[in-house]
C-alpha cells in the first residue's frame, strides 16, 4: 500500500502481519500488524496441491503470473489475474483445509488475499465466526484499503474475545492509519477527528500491552502514534522497549533515531544512526532529518561521512 503523509511532512509505516509500511523518515507509515503464522505442510503429489504451491510461493501477483506462465510454457502476458483467481479457486476446492489453511504467512497472504474474497481467505485459515476469523478478515480488508470494514472486523473479534491482544494491535494500527489520512485533509474538523482517532489507537495499543507486554509490534505502533501527536519523548521510550524485545529489527532502530532527533536528543540520535548504518541499512531519510534538526552539532561530519555509500 502506498505511503500516507503525516503531520510535519514526514511519512511513516510497518503492519501484525506484516506486522505494516511507511516511515516518518525512518519511522515506518505502515505500522506493524499481528497475524498467526505457521509453516507450510509438505506438498502432496496431486496436481491441485502443486498448482496451489506454485501460486503460494509467489510474493507478488506478478511473480505468481510468471510462475504459472513458466510452468505451462506460456508468455507472461497470457496469464491474467483472473486466470490466477480461477485456477486458485479450482485448486483449493480439491484440497482439505489441513493441507493449506494454516501455512499462509503474511508475505504469501498478500497474493492469496487478492485471489479470494476477504471472507473466503479468512474462512480458509480459521473457522467462520471465531475471533481469529475476524482478525484475519480485518487484515484482508486492510490489504484492499477497505479501512472501515477492517476496523469493524477487529471490533467484532474483540466483542467475541476481549483478551485477544493481536486484535487490539491491529485495531490500533487501523485507527492510526485512518487518523493519518484525516490529518492529510488539513481541515479543522478532520484535525479534531484525527486527534480522537489517535487517542483511541493509543488506548488500543496500551490494552494490547496490558494483555501481553512482550509484543514489540504494539510498542512500535504506539511510538508511531505518539510521533503523530508530537510526543517524541514518549515514542523514544516505546521504541527502546521494542528494541529490547526484538533487537535485530532495523525498522525499530531507524524509528528510534528519528524519535531521538525529534525529541532534540541529537547526540544519542547520532550514535543510533552509526549503529544502524553498520547493519547495512539505508539511512538517507533519517540523515536528512538529522541535518535539518541538528545541523549545528559537531558530530554531523562523522555521522554523514560516507552517506552516498549507504545500502
Q: How many CB atoms lie within 10 A of CB 245?
A: 17
H or E element in which residue 8 lies: none
Instruction: Find the distance separating the first CA and the last CA of the chain, reported in whole Å.
Output: 23
**pLDDT per residue as tens digits for the range 141-184:** 988 889 899 999 999 999 999 999 999 999 999 999 999 999 88
Spans of all domains in the chain:
4-37+104-309
User: Do the Cβ atoms of 228 and 180 come closer than 8 Å?
Assistant: yes
**pLDDT per residue as tens digits for the range 100-152:** 444 444 445 556 666 778 888 788 778 899 999 999 999 889 888 898 999 99
User: Do the Cβ atoms of 276 and 249 come closer than 8 Å?
Assistant: no
**pLDDT per residue as tens digits for the range 56-85:** 555 566 666 676 666 655 665 665 667 766
The confidence score (pLDDT) of residue 277 equals 87
DSSP secondary structure, 190-230, as one string:
HHHHHHHHHHHHHHHHHHHHHH-TT-HHHHHHHHHHHHHTT
- pTM score > 0.75 for this model? no
**pLDDT per residue as tens digits for the range 242-291:** 999 999 999 999 999 999 999 999 999 999 999 888 888 888 888 888 88
The confidence score (pLDDT) of residue 253 equals 93
**pLDDT per residue as tens digits for the range 184-214:** 887 889 989 999 999 999 999 999 999 999 9
Report the chain's mean pLDDT, rounded to a whole number.
75
What CATH number does the domain located at 4-37+104-309 have? 1.25.40.10
Amino acid at each position: 500500500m502506498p505511503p500516507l503523509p503525516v503531520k510535519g511532512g514526514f511519512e511513516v509505516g510497518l503492519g501484525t502481519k506484516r506486522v505494516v509500511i511507511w516511515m516518518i523518515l525512518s519511522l515506518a507509515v505502515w505500522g506493524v500488524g499481528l497475524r498467526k503464522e505457521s509453516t507450510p505442510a509438505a506438498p502432496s503429489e496431486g496436481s491441485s496441491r502443486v498448482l496451489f504451491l506454485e501460486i503460494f510461493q509467489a510474493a507478488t501477483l506478478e511473480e505468481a503470473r510468471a510462475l504459472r506462465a513458466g510452468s505451462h510454457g506460456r508468455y507472461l502476458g497470457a496469464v491474467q489475474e483472473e486466470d490466477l483467481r480461477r485456477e486458485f479457486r479450482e485448486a483449493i476446492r480439491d484440497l482439505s483445509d489441513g493441507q493449506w489453511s494454516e501455512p499462509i504467512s503474511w508475505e504469501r497472504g498478500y497474493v492469496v488475499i487478492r485471489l479470494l474474497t476477504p471472507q473466503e481467505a479468512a474462512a480458509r485459515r480459521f473457522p467462520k465466526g471465531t475471533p481469529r476469523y475476524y482478525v484475519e478478515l480485518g487484515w484482508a480488508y486492510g490489504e484492499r484499503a477497505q479501512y472501515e470494514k477492517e476496523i469493524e472486523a477487529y471490533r467484532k473479534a474483540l466483542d467475541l474475545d476481549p483478551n485477544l491482544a493481536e486484535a487490539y494491535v491491529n485495531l490500533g494500527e487501523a485507527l492510526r492509519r485512518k487518523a493519518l489520512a484525516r490529518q492529510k485533509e488539513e481541515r479543522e474538523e478532520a484535525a479534531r477527528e484525527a486527534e480522537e482517532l489517535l487517542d483511541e489507537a493509543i488506548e488500543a495499543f496500551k490494552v494490547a500491552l496490558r494483555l501481553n507486554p512482550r509484543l514489540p509490534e504494539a510498542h512500535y505502533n504506539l511510538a508511531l502514534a505518539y510521533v503523530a501527536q508530537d510526543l517524541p519523548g514518549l515514542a523514544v521510550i516505546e521504541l527502546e522497549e521494542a528494541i529490547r524485545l526484538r533487537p535485530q529489527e532495523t525498522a525499530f532502530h531507524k524509528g528510534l533515531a528519528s524519535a531521538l532527533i525529534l525529541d532534540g536528543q541529537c547526540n544519542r540520535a547520532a550514535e543510533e544512526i552509526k549503529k544502524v548504518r553498520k547493519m547495512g541499512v539505508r539511512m538517507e531519510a533519517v540523515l536528512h532529518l538529522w541535518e535539518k534538526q541538528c545541523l549545528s552539532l559537531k558530530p554531523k561530519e562523522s555521522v554523514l561521512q560516507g552517506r552516498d555509500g549507504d545500502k
